[in-house]
Chain A
Amino acid sequence: MNTDWLLQHSPALIIALPLLAAFLMPVVDRISRKARNVFAIIVLIVEEILVLFLAYDVFGGNPHIYTMGAANPLTTVPAQAAVPIRIVLEVDAMGIFMAMISATVCLAAGIYSLAFIGEEKGKGKYYTLLLLILVGMLGMELTGDMFNLFVFLEVLTIACTALIAYRSNTGDAVEGAFKFLIISSIAALFVLFAIALLYAQYDLLNMAALASAIQYSNLDKIALVLLVAAFAMKCGSVPMHFWTPDAYSVAPASITAILVAASQASLYALFRVCFSLYGVTLNLSTIGGALIIFGLLSMFVGVTMALPQKDIKRLMAYHAISQTGYMLLGVGVGLYLLTKPEFSTYGIKAMEGGIFHIINHAMYKGLLFLTSGAIFYRLKTRNLNEMGGLGHSMKWTAIFFIIGALAIAGIPPFNGFASKLLIYEAAYKVSPILSIIAMLVSILTLASFVKVFHSAFMGPKIHDVEEVPRSMLAGMAVLTFVIILFGLFPGWVVGNIVHPAAQALAEQAAYIQAVIGG
């Protein structure tokens, strides 16, 4: 059991370990409650350590391949065949980058849920479903096979729906979950139809093999449109964003933080399809232009609908839509310039800005949702008109909220500033209007969070509450640590973590060669 063996088998271990823990959870639950809590936290911590361990090797420059069920996990093409025929997990820098986000957010939410979710009969099932959401996200991010992507997308959908409806004693939680389920099922059926179209033409399901065999025929164009529409529907970009405020506001706060990371797993799948599957055979300016337009609409509609909201979590959900617009804008500019010679100067900078924004957004939006959950835990309300004067007694919550609000507005020294600056600079060279709209949206974001801070925390002391329990503060502190770390050393982060990820996404040839050539 030396480190080489662990490193070689870690892609499969990363997915199998939470699955085993999720199936063991009902058995452990019968023993005692404390054992179940400790077991869940230990599994989440071990998972985070495994992901960081694999990330250290992948960012050093070698992508990892794992063939399931083969005699040697590194041989993808068997001796008698010409194409890969088993399920191949391919971990390159972009995949492990997203896996780091998923593992960290689930760890923070798991620690937070120790005190936030009351000790009812259903808490064992809550942890089972949380581990299944982690399996779904990690499976989507580490796989190299199209149908495997669809299966893990459905696992993620079903587990998320069950947890959105967790507070089933209120009616609107169940209704939000129903809306989420209908939209997600339609998106998944579109994905399956597109996979069937691609399989019918090329008889291949492996992403790298499809990328090297694809010719851009009419059926491929239909498949591309279906895939882009389905994944844009799942990540909450305008014009398919109507499920986002309802689903995000009625779920328990820790689940909303995980839903943000789940929407970003769908965003990752969108980028993977556009860059690595279709790549240079595609007419990139059109799809890039479409992504830029989605991004601009999302940014603008998100922030203007957030300003008049009275429910604190609906307001933050609309901001999540607008921040997704930033990511689509950044990577859309990169896709637009992929085949032009300007790519190596500022196209890759735009992609780095968009990808860096993904991890920043997961951290600070997760932190903001966790603080709103802390307010709900003490006051039992989400309405901004009924809050006030909480800054006197809930000091730590107020500090975490200030850090999250400054990060989302893009103020140094927090991490939002670095990624937004990259996006402003690179988008300006394509067209100045993009940067102007982005900066305007940023100012409006700051305005709405000043409003929330004033309503919730400032003013005379109306409610007599005390600070939230320490496990909830510990969960919020995990995310704050990453925010401050990435804010103080953005150069190191962009150079060592974000740039390899953007490079791995942009170079389709390296992706194909890792599976078939190697």
Chain B
Amino acid sequence: MRQDEMTPVVRTIAALIFPFIIIFSFYVIMHGHLTPGGGFQGGAIGASAIVMLIVAYGARNVKKKAKEESLSIFESIGGLVFVIVGIIGFVAASSFLYNFLVGEPLFGTIPPFGSNPGILNSGGILPILNIAVGMKVIGGLASVVLVMALAGGDEE
């Protein structure tokens, strides 16, 4: 066992619950327009999953699988989707970030007023913006913690 890894018990459990945390973070991102949550909150949960792997396995092993450049590209795609959706708002319709998907088949159902069980297919451009922000936050926070863990480990 190298210096920055943990015992086999911790490593096994971390590898087992990692998919569940990722699925929970996607759930929080996708249901942002119905329940508390949304882009930043779900993204922070997803970044915590990657941080858990960094703590359990050590920064060098995680860097082999998720390099800093691929996290940076993941983050840039999120940012680009956000600004492009905003620009489509005023190229094709009225103004920047106009909700042009109301009434369309994708995410376009108008929910009834008052208490309802929550329709996932509603909300217009909001779920798309939530996914974009979630991608950006996962990429950003994970790469920040990865770089800090690598910088601290060089002092051996």
Contact = CB atoms under 8 A, between A and B. Distances in A.
Interface string A1-23: 00000000100110010011001
A26 B86 contact: no
Given A19-B83, A20-B80, A24-B80, A70 B73 contact: no
Given A26-B73, A26-B76, A27-B76, A71 B94 contact: yes
A16 B96 contact: yes
Given A12-B90, A20-B87, A70 B76 contact: no
A72 interface: yes
B99 A69 contact: yes
Contacts of B18: none
B84 interface: yes
B94 A16 contact: no
A69 B83 contact: no
Given A19-B83, A20-B83, A12 B96 contact: yes
B95 interface: yes
B128 to A, nearest CB: 14
B94 A73 contact: yes
A19 B97 CA distance: 14
Contacts of A19: 83
Interface string B65-102: 00000001100100110011011011000111111000
Contact of B80 (A9, A16, A23, A66): A23
Interface in A202-237: none
B98 A70 contact: yes
Nearest to A21: B83
Interface residues of A, number: 18
Interface in A395-444: none
B95 A73 contact: yes
A23 B87 contact: no
A147 to B, nearest CB: 16
A474 interface: no
A16 B86 contact: yes
Interface in A38-82: 66-73
A72 B83 contact: no
A66 B96 CA distance: 9
Nearest to B83: A20
A69 B97 contact: yes
Contacts of A27: 73, 76, 80
Given A20-B80, A20-B87, A26 B94 contact: no
Interface string A261-285: 0000000000000000000000000
A19 B73 CA distance: 16
A442 B19 CA distance: 67
Contacts of A9: 90, 95-96
A16 B76 contact: no
Contacts of A72: 94-95
Given A9-B90, A12-B90, A16-B87, A23 B98 contact: no
A70 B95 contact: yes
B95 A69 contact: yes
A299 B83 CA distance: 43
B95 A23 contact: no
B99 to A, nearest CB: 7
Contacts of A24: 76, 80
A158 to B, nearest CB: 12
B95 to A, nearest CB: 4
Interface string B106-132: 000000000000000000000000000
Interface in A490-504: none
A9 B97 CA distance: 12
A68 B95 contact: yes
A26 B136 CA distance: 14
Contacts of B87: 16, 20
A70 B83 CA distance: 17
A68 B97 contact: yes
A68 B96 contact: yes
Contacts of B79: 23
Nearest to B125: A69
A72 B76 CA distance: 31
Nearest to A12: B96
A24 B87 CA distance: 14
Contacts of B83: 16, 19-20, 23
A27 B76 CA distance: 8
Kindly list the 6 A-B residue pairs having the minimum CB-CB distance in the complex, ordered from nearest: A23-B79, A12-B96, A73-B95, A69-B97, A20-B83, A23-B80
24 contacts: A9-B95, A12-B90, A12-B95, A16-B83, A16-B87, A19-B83, A20-B83, A20-B84, A20-B87, A23-B76, A23-B80, A24-B80, A26-B73, A26-B76, A27-B76, A27-B80, A66-B95, A67-B95, A69-B99, A70-B94, A70-B98, A71-B95, A71-B98, A73-B90
Given A12-B95, A27-B80, 13 more contacts: A9-B95, A12-B96, A13-B90, A16-B83, A16-B87, A20-B83, A20-B84, A23-B83, A24-B76, A26-B72, A27-B73, A70-B94, A73-B95
